[in-house]
Amino acid sequence: METLKLLMPTLEYGDQVMAFKQECLDIGSSMDGCGPLRRSNTAAEWLEDALSDTDPATLREGRVLATNFITVRQSDNTLVGMLQVRHYLNDYLEQFGGHIGYSIRPSERRKGYAKEQLRQALVWCKEELKLDKVLITCLTDNEASRRTILGAGGVYDGTVHEEEQSIDLERYWITL
């Protein structure tokens, strides 16, 4: 398997971030863990918005502190995934979103990258945030994400319906 690294996003990867977004849009992917990417028109706009979640002074109302990562394949410096770690849960995240959201670039799926990306994120959550457990959710029809979560030790906690988006989500807890 290729070596992956989680990196704090920078504009160096701006073109790849926007290509990632377009690939996801082309197939109707939900872009979980991409922070504000769906609503951003440029990489600079996305980066500024994503970085505002890392500082209590710039955190917008209703949001929680979060760290966004890009996942880069070391051999060719290609962005293969994106991941967001929420440092704590508000009421909405406690019910529907969880601590971690992640996506793999559509052209890079089915290579085991989600498993490794999540593994590294769980280590970061334990070491940097000192969390004992994390909540991760996935759409009920996302078999790949379910397998990734279960492979990381996820324990099923139930299924919930998110009314606003009219989606059903499975909830899993992972003990760190």
User: pLDDT of 46-65, one tens digit each?
Assistant: 999 989 999 999 998 889 99
Label the pairing between strands 100-104 and 155-162: unpaired
What percentage of the chain's residues is helix, strand, coil (to nearest 5)?
A: 35, 30, 35
- The pTM score is 0.93
Tens-place pLDDT, residues 103-118: 999 999 999 999 999 9
> What whole-number distance in Å separates Cα of residue 132 and Cα of residue 15?
36
- For residue 77, what pLDDT is reported? 96
Calculate the average pLDDT of the chain: 95
Q: Is 20 exposed, middle or buried (0-12, 13-18, 19+ CB in 10 A)?
A: buried
- The amino acid sitting at 99 is H
Strand partners for 171: 137, 158
